Amino acid sequence: MKYRYLGRSGLLVSRLCLGTMTFGNSQWGCDQETSSAIVKRFVEGGGNFIDTANGYSGGASETMLGVALKDHSRDQLVIATKCWFPADTAVTSRGLSRKHIVEACEKSLKRLDTDYIDLYQFHGPDPYTPIEESLRAADDLIRAGKIRYLGCSNFYGWQIAKTNGVAALMGYEPLVSAQHLYNLVRRDIEREILPACDDQGLGMICWSPLAAGMLTGKYRDQDKPDEKSRIGQQAAITLPRYWFEDSLKMIDKVVEVAGRLGRTPSQVALSWLLGDPRVTAAIIGARRVDQVAENLDAGDFDLPAEVRQELTDAMPLKLGYPYEWMNTNLPGTFGKAELEPTHTQRLP
């Protein structure tokens, strides 16, 4: 397993992160025994980074992870969780208000049965709560020793920049990470979010790196997924997100490349993500131990640069405006200096 720093923080994490959304899920998840076995296999494989959320399986994911952690050294692991989704029927138990952040954190600590959370993440943006309020609440929790680092998930690029700008102005702890949807099929974050993270020093944690299992190749040659499969049970969300003509062609390409390299499609898809230095980790989820074992091999496997570019070119991303304008006008306007300055902003 290889390790990367989480953004500009000093926190070193495995470049594969174990996702626990399956823990306690009654439809496509696993029970406590399997969850504990999955954690054990992940840790034995060198993984130290585990992600959950208070909204996964109604809090059961955190509880089951807490039980699994009893078999391991807590201080050697980096545990991440989140808040934002409704925690119960109370109208105040949602979003990023001070009340909800503090209450959600306390409940997560109890479910995880731990004294501290390494990475606490805002699971989504709250359009009704000033970010100053949310940041102050998180900063208070950091100063109280209940959380160590702060991250976000599903934020817009401008919200990432604004959040860290406010943090710098007010003297609060900044965001060190962002967790977003990113895979070979859905590369949307390359337009604005990845550049914002790069500028602000946030490490990217990729969720759904295998496109809900599609990049494993198991749904090839199917008109539609099995209704009993995870992607079939979540069809209203997953089919519009992943199931379209270009994505099916992309999957065929991944399978072809995997065969050529003697790797599995999953390992190739994960390694493609990790070929970008802006990516800190890719989240791997599992409902069986053998799935973890297969994906762990991507913790050490690096795609050759030319193969990664081949996959990138197989489904080009149209960046649109203003990138097209910059691509046309930047070369003729600048480029007169002998050397590139160290503070150069990296544009897509």
Rounded to an integer, what distance in angstroms lies between the CA atom of residue 55 and that of residue 61? Answer: 8
Q: Is the pLDDT of residue 222 over 90?
A: no
The helix or strand, by DSSP H or E, that contains position 96, with its residue range, turns out to be: none
Q: Is the pLDDT of residue 37 over 90?
A: yes
Rounded to an integer, what distance in angstroms lies between the CA atom of residue 348 and that of residue 346? Answer: 7
Q: Is the pLDDT of residue 228 over 80?
A: no
Cβ(187)–Cβ(218) under 8 Å?
Answer: no
**In-domain check, residue 138:** yes
CATH number for position 51:
3.20.20.100
pLDDT tier for residue 261 given thresholds of 50, 70 and 90: very high
Rounded to an integer, what distance in angstroms lies between the CA atom of residue 229 and that of residue 242? Answer: 15
**In-domain check, residue 344:** no
pLDDT of residue 249: 94
Least confident of 44-53, 170-179, 228-237, 286-295: 228-237
The H helix count followed by the E strand count for the chain is 13, 10
pLDDT of residue 190: 97
Q: Which residues pair with 121 in a beta bridge?
A: 82, 151
pLDDT of residue 236: 86
For the purposes of burial, counting CB atoms within 10 Å of the CB of 255, is it exposed (0-12), middle (13-18) or buried (19 or more)? middle
Average pLDDT on 66-86 reads 98
**In-domain check, residue 341:** no
Rounded to an integer, what distance in angstroms lies between the CA atom of residue 34 and that of residue 292? Answer: 12
Of 99, 228, 202, 192, nearest to 149 (Cα)? 202
pLDDT tens digits along 168-177: 999 999 999 9
Cβ(196)–Cβ(346) under 8 Å?
Answer: no
pLDDT of residue 238: 86
pLDDT tier for residue 166 given thresholds of 50, 70 and 90: very high
**In-domain check, residue 330:** no
pLDDT of residue 123: 98
Cβ(274)–Cβ(182) under 8 Å?
Answer: no
Rounded to an integer, what distance in angstroms lies between the CA atom of residue 50 and that of residue 153? Answer: 15
pLDDT of residue 230: 72
Average pLDDT on 65-85 reads 98
Mean per-residue pLDDT of the chain: 95
Q: Is the pLDDT of residue 235 over 90?
A: no
Q: Which residue has the higher pLDDT, 237 or 210?
A: 210
Average pLDDT on 258-271 reads 98
Rounded to an integer, what distance in angstroms lies between the CA atom of residue 263 and that of residue 249? Answer: 19
Catalytic amino acids? 56
pLDDT tier for residue 204 given thresholds of 50, 70 and 90: very high
**In-domain check, residue 339:** no
Amino acid in the structure at residue 4: R
Lookup: tokens for 299: 């913790």
Rounded to an integer, what distance in angstroms lies between the CA atom of residue 237 and that of residue 239? Answer: 6
**In-domain check, residue 334:** no
Dihedral in degrees, nearest 10, Cα atoms 63, 66, 67, 69: 160
Record the pTM: 0.96
pLDDT tens digits along 296-342: 999 999 999 999 999 999 999 999 999 999 999 999 999 888 988 88
Average pLDDT on 262-283 reads 98
Lookup: tokens for 278: 């802006």
Question: How many domains is the chain partitioned into structurally?
Answer: 1
**In-domain check, residue 347:** no
**In-domain check, residue 137:** yes
Range of the domain at 282: 3-322
